[in-house]
Amino acid sequence: MSQVLMPKATAVWLVENTTLTFDQISTFTGLHPLEVQAIADGEVAGGMTGLDPTTNGQLTKEEIKRGESDASVRLRLSPRDIPEPITRSKGPRYTPVAKRQDRPDAIAWLLKVHPELLDAQVAKLVGSTKSTVQSVRDRTHWNMQNVRPRDPVTLGLCTLRDLNEAVDASRRRAARDDAAKKKGVALATVEDEAETGTAAETAEAIDPAEADQPDSGDYRRD
């Protein structure tokens, strides 16, 4: 079977819009069954926009109905006459001149809908610069009065796959930062408790009676 385009986004759509089993979705998308279950539980791909496989010719509605009526059915990927996408080499994203005026609108949408994205990620998605993203964020852009948030995918400035990957990366980074922060707080608490315990042990080791007793040195003269 050929590889499904954007398997995770496709799995999100199938989980939300069909009664297919996790195993069926897993087999079709190539994801692990536990990952499909995690998507259904909202633990993975939270907030990701699902991709309807029937709109891009990967799957037919009849095939979905066939799978829903029999859990043993394995979905078949529809044959495609279009060529496979060519992997683009890394480099700055080119934005057609006609669409460059839409970039501030796309930036405003990303900042509003996905505040977890870094300015560098927003700039990369729409082919802009961090200074432009910052000006839209601060509302100091020269054409701010005409800026209105619009989906960059709809505008054709980025693909749904690029957007979902950027959002996933941001959320993984946030999860790592949160875990590191919690670990740091826990470590600090343990250190504080250890210092408190040491101070208490030191205080208990001193006999109060001896602490107030003056020096008993012998000052008699011969």
Higher pLDDT, 169 or 48: 169
Q: What is the DSSP letter of 48?
A: P
Q: Are 11 and 41 in contact (CB under 8 A)?
A: no
Following DSSP, what letter does each residue of 51-104 receive, concatenated?
Answer: --TTTTTSS-HHHHHHHHH-TT----PPP--SPPPPPPPSSPPP--GGGGGGHH
Write out pLDDT tens, residues 18-74. 999 999 998 888 888 888 888 888 877 777 788 888 887 888 889 899 988 988 888
Q: Is 115 left (phi over 0), alpha (psi -120 to 50) or beta?
A: alpha
Domain ranges across the chain: 7-69, 93-202
> Which residue type is seen at 98?
A
Rg (CA), the chain: 30
Among candidate residues 52, 38, 42, 43, the one with its CA nearest the CA of residue 9? 52
Write out pLDDT tens, residues 90-141. 555 656 666 778 999 999 999 999 999 999 999 999 999 999 999 999 999 9
Alpha-carbon gap, residue 170 to 121, rounded angstroms: 9
Alpha-carbon gap, residue 195 to 205, rounded angstroms: 15
Alpha-carbon gap, residue 83 to 187, rounded angstroms: 55
